[in-house]
Amino acid sequence: MISIEVIFLEYFNIRPSKKILCCFVLINSSFTLDVKPLKDDNSDLIKIFFLNIFIVIFFLLFYLKGISHTPNWIEQLDISFFTNYFFSNFFGSRLIGGVYLVVLLYLLTKSIKQIINKANINLFFLILIFFSYFLPGIYGYIFEPILINRYIIFVLIPILFLISHLTFEFNYNLVKKIFLSLIIILTFFNHFTENTFKQFYTNIYPSKPEIGKTLKFINKSNSLNYSVLLNGNNKLNINNVYENYLNNYTKKLKFDLNFINYLDKKTLPNDFWIIHIRDITDTEFKKPNNFLNYTIKEKKYFNRLELYQLKKNGT
């Protein structure tokens, strides 16, 4: 199992600060599977429980030393989370997600004894799913929320594996046929509600910041100097990430735009575009101190993004 964990972490190129959390979830899941109870008095289960408690405490002490901050846009889990566990996000709609969740829970309740007794890959996937929700959830309630659907998208693999495997192993043919028919039919028709299909006959409302559309607008304007609203503290070199991303995007579009890091520049151009990405912050745009003698000449609004043209006073 350890080899699987190493391949997982290296293949998906998870950065070191996140590797600690992912590695802990994976190793703890495989360890719990490998040290299965062998005695009738369940003494091994007690040992596993207290050992896991020790590992959790050790992990938190170690992990908290290496964490600098968490995104402020991640919200605390509310009551609606416990009705679908992100299944509505994973499978495209609340209806489809609810069907998959009910089928999975039903199959697990009917097969849980068999899964525990065999202690094979099914048990490992079940433990992995549990820890993937439990550990970030507990951390979020104690410290700061970190659990969102995109961070645990990998649980889709064990979820689909368990549903398909347990369905075909189910003894009741009628229930098996009902589950298979329900999942196949709903999944098929759900594709017609997805953007990948709707794009053929209607305009799709963008779900991400329209960076490309913004750069095209700047390229057609009378000023080719631009930047993004930078962070003065530059935590985790986030400003370098913005600059690298925008420069590469500009090269891809073959535009001759000039990205300026205004925090490092003493002399700034008279006309200047600033991109304010609202997807990662809920704060309103405020002119940086470097542009106190500038006036907002024009505003443009794109999806989850605002664009401001600043013009120097007296020019």
pLDDT at 234 over 80: no
Does the residue 46 lie in any domain? yes
Banded pLDDT at 175 (limits 50, 70, 90): confident
Does the residue 240 lie in any domain? yes
The mean pLDDT value for 16-21 works out to 48
In angstroms, the Cα distances linking 194 to 147, 172, 305 are 25, 33, 24
pLDDT at 186 over 70: yes
User: Does 153 lie in the same domain as 78?
Assistant: yes
pLDDT at 146: 82
pLDDT at 4: 42
> Which run of H or of E encompasses 167?
helix 156-169
Rounded CA gap, 125 and 157, in Å?
9
The tally of domains found in the chain comes to 2
Question: For residue 229, which of 272, 293, 266, 267 has the smallest C-alpha distance?
Answer: 272
Contact 217, 307 (CB under 8 A): yes
User: Does 237 lie in the same domain as 169?
Assistant: no
Does the residue 174 lie in any domain? yes
Q: Which of 172, 198, 224 is the last residue of a domain?
A: 198
Q: Which of 198, 220, 251 is the last residue of a domain?
A: 198
User: Does 259 lie in the same domain as 162?
Assistant: no
Q: What is the pLDDT of residues 237-256, one digit of tens each?
A: 778 888 899 999 999 999 99
Does the residue 205 lie in any domain? no
Does the residue 274 lie in any domain? yes
User: Does 111 lie in the same domain as 24?
Assistant: yes
Banded pLDDT at 43 (limits 50, 70, 90): low
pLDDT at 93: 84
Banded pLDDT at 47 (limits 50, 70, 90): low
Does the residue 79 lie in any domain? yes
pLDDT at 27 over 50: yes
User: Does 250 lie in the same domain as 132?
Assistant: no
pLDDT at 288: 85
Domain with 277 in it: 211-312
Does the residue 58 lie in any domain? yes
User: Does 180 lie in the same domain as 233?
Assistant: no
Banded pLDDT at 286 (limits 50, 70, 90): confident
Question: What are the E-state strand segments in the chain?
Answer: 225-228, 258-259, 271-277, 294-302, 305-312
Round the average pLDDT of the chain to a whole number and report it: 78
Maximum average pLDDT range among 10-19, 96-105, 115-124, 261-270: 96-105
pLDDT at 216 over 70: yes
User: Does 232 lie in the same domain as 170?
Assistant: no
User: Does 266 lie in the same domain as 127?
Assistant: no
User: Does 12 lie in the same domain as 63?
Assistant: yes
Does the residue 206 lie in any domain? no
pLDDT at 6: 40
Q: Which of 173, 198, 223 is the last residue of a domain?
A: 198
